[in-house]
Amino acid sequence: MQATTCGVTLKTKIYSNEIIHDFLDSQKILYSKLSNESCLYSDKSIMKSSSLNYLNFLPGDNIDASLKNLILKEFKECEYLYPHLGDYFLESFYAGKKRKVKKKELFNKSHEKKLIKSIQDKNIKNLARWIFENFSLERNINIERYKGKEILVEIVDDFLFKFSYDFEFYVNNSGLEIKNYHFIIIDGYLETVGEIHHLMFNANKNKRPYVIFCHGMSDEVKYNILKNNKEGRTQVLPVSINFDETTLNILNDLAIIHDSGVVSSKLGQTISQEIRKELPVGEKIVFLKNKILIKSVANTDKIIAHKTFLKRRLSESLGKGDVNIEPITNRLKNFNVKSANVYLPEYIINRNFNRELDYFLKVISNLSKKMCILNTTFKKNYFVPPGFLKIADQKVNSLREVLYNIEKIIT
């Protein structure tokens, strides 16, 4: 059947693949011209990045735009995996030749200065230098923005638990710190207000903080807690955890830290009965987005015994190909590392700052692995795990093959 159209007849043009060669030649020249140049943008920001300045340079026609989008897609995927991997991809793509085999090294003390020197933003340089000089890199680093004037670092010896929970109770009070709180850990869903009536009554009477760990609650329960908290009658602080594979056993870990047990129907317990009992007291808890900090009240032997249990579970799971080990690995991390809070003034944060900060944090989070240290046009002493370089190299070869196999372009 022949295709027919009504109205204006569209003009179609067909181009040979020579236009692709012309495009690549012109783009290689443009990329080279913008190498390490500082460019001023319309929003008055200055960017000194060969790749970003090149990619932000808009093509003159639709064909060039379509071809450049193929390059942009691969660049973004590389950047998503590791900071500046997109730069490495573009540099390799336009180099026109294969790179030499990269030497792999374990990070050591002599590499600290090289890493700091590779960072362009002066604030990140100073932060990196301070971190290397003042605390163990085994700590988990949490980044928070604030409206101050200086970068602040807070060393925290509490345990950090990362999981998703209903943050609506703290959305206007992120970083809320509560001490000497009563708590209950419930392996279940809060269906009615009646189940926690005794807790709400006590909270209103004695004005003490109460923390409820649970796997979700009804709208009725949530509304009543929010309303009573807002009116100042109570300070009831739910940690309503999203129930999925990653949080399946998180309540057991929270119980270990609190030297307590978990209320469960499997043990013949009911929520309303357990809440009537004298609830245990925790020492300190801090509520952050998708994470909480808890000061342990358990002795060291119990913590070590639980870590040993998790390591054994992990070892057993590694031998089973159909078992997802990520939840166990994440649980073990909660007990392996302590943390540091880094508070960044909002006025120093921009695109360059975020990219350099992400790069530094990614490097120190991979220090247990062997690294490649490359000298490139975009960064001297670029620290990157070899696995990411392999992916970028594959993308270079794949894109070249795609462009080579295009025989015609229709517009």
- Give the residue extent of every domain in the chain: 14-100+386-410, 108-156+339-366, 159-298
- The residue among 14, 30, 11, 24 whose CA lies nearest residue 67 is 24
Tokens of 266: 């499997």
- Average pLDDT of the residues in 348-377: 87
pLDDT tens, 115-150?
998 898 889 999 999 888 887 776 778 788 888 888
pLDDT above 70 for 357: yes
Give whichever of 23-32, 162-171, 399-408 has the largest mean pLDDT: 162-171
Closest CA to 138 of 359, 354, 335, 358: 335
Taking the CB of residue 254, how many other CB atoms lie within 10 A of it? 24
pLDDT of residue 3: 46
Supply the pLDDT for residue 320: 66
Question: Using CA atoms, how far apart are residues 109 and 2, in angstroms rounded to an integer?
Answer: 72
How far is the CA of 171 from the CAs of 2, 82, 115, in angstroms? 60, 30, 36
pLDDT at 240 over 60: yes
pTM: 0.60
pLDDT band at 322 (very low <50, low <70, confident <90, very high): low
Say what the pLDDT of residue 197 is: 94
The packing angle between helices 18-33 and 62-81, to 10°, is 60
Q: For 159-298, which CATH superfamily applies? A: GroEL (3.50.7.10)
Work out the pLDDT band at 185, boundaries 50, 70, 90.
very high
**CB contact at 8 A, 373 and 106:** no
Residue 262 pLDDT greater than 80, yes or no = yes
pLDDT at 224: 96
How far is it, in rounded angstroms, from Cα 363 to Cα 360?
A: 5
Task: Give the pLDDT confidence score for residue 44 in this predicted structure.
Answer: 54
